[in-house]
Structure 1
Amino acid sequence: MQTHGLGYFVAKFANRNQNAKVKGIAQAGELKMDEITAQELKERLGRSAALQIVDVREPSEFEICNLGGELIPLGELPKQVNRIRRDIPVVMVCHHGFRSAQAINYLTQRLGYDNLLNLKGGIHAWATQVDPTMQVY
């Protein structure tokens, strides 16, 4: 059985999504993933709901603004996957939601995770919809 690393899945996902945009159609067999809006995340955090936030952006982006979650850059994900919990919901975060979707694609297809939520619109959505004092970039 041939094994592929994260880079393979990132490229495959990006190509499939780009082709779908060009053609204006969804691709057959495309992975459906659960999303959470910035407002829904705010409500869950306000209720002190058990969840883990994993930010897959680069350290320099994380320094600009973050939600206080764990930083695991997308490229480091295969090496640090043991930090991602399976027993509670995990919200994956990036700038606009694309890299976190790639991370979810990898984690669900390759490692069988079934507890992942993509922050719709990424941290940018949080900054514009929930916390206007948060720095944007």
Structure 2
Amino acid sequence: MDITVEELKKRIESGEKINLIDVREDYEYEDDNIGGQLIPLGELPHRIHEIEDLKDEEILVHCRSGKRSETAQRFMQSQGFTNVRNVIGGMLAYRELD
């Protein structure tokens, strides 16, 4: 099940500890980020071991618009991750909340 940017923002602002993975590129992350762990989509297959311990925890994945994170979500699910949620609309939608 996916997550809305409104729900994500609420959870970040409440100080809740969340597992947020940003699958954009380095330069996008440097320009604007909301504190997620950066693992660009192209590197995800080679770096999946870095988040192996989160397999059974909720993981939120986001990108610029929601497309790359959807791809990341499917890949992670195929690797046995049980609770991966895509942030609908990505950073574009998130920034519209301000």
TM-score, normalized by the shorter chain, greater than 0.5: yes
Indicate the residue corresponding to 1:70 in structure 2: 37
Take 2:72 and 2:96, find their aligned partners in 1: how far apart are those partners? 23
Partner secondary structure for residue 120 of structure 1: coil
Q: Which has the larger radius of gyration?
A: 1
2:22 is the counterpart of 1:55: yes
For 1:31-46, what aligned pairs fall within 5 Å after superposition?
A: 34-46=1-13
Take 1:86 and 1:93, find their aligned partners in 2: how far apart are those partners? 17
Measured against aligned partners, the alpha-carbon deviations of 1:15-49 in whole angstroms (never above 9, x if no partner) come to: xxxxxxxxxxxxxxxxxxx2111110112223333
Indicate the residue corresponding to 2:75 in structure 1: 106
**Structure of higher RCO (CA pairs closer than 8 Å, 6+ residues apart):** 2
Measured against aligned partners, the alpha-carbon deviations of 1:108-131 in whole angstroms (never above 9, x if no partner) come to: 12x1111111110001111012x3
Do the aligned residues in 2 keep the contact of 1:74 with 1:99 (CA within 8 Å)?
A: yes
| TM-score, length of structure 2 as denominator length | 0.89
Do the aligned residues in 1 keep the contact of 2:41 with 2:72 (CA within 8 Å)?
A: yes
Do the aligned residues in 2 keep the contact of 1:90 with 1:116 (CA within 8 Å)?
A: yes
Do the aligned residues in 2 keep the contact of 1:51 with 1:88 (CA within 8 Å)?
A: no
Match of 2:60 among 91, 97, 102: 91
CA shift, 1:64, in A, is 1.2
The structure-2 alpha-carbon separation of the partners of 1:87 and 1:108, relative to structure 1 and needing over 3 Å to count, comes to closer
Unaligned runs of 5+ in 2: none
Unaligned runs of 5+ in 1: 1-33, 132-137
After the TM superposition, which segments of 4 or more aligned residues of structure 1 sit over 3 Å from their partners?
Answer: none
How large is the RMSD of aligned CA atoms in angstroms? 1.3
| TM-score, length of structure 1 as denominator length | 0.65
Percent sequence identity over aligned pairs = 39
Aligned residues: 96
2:92 is the counterpart of 1:118: no
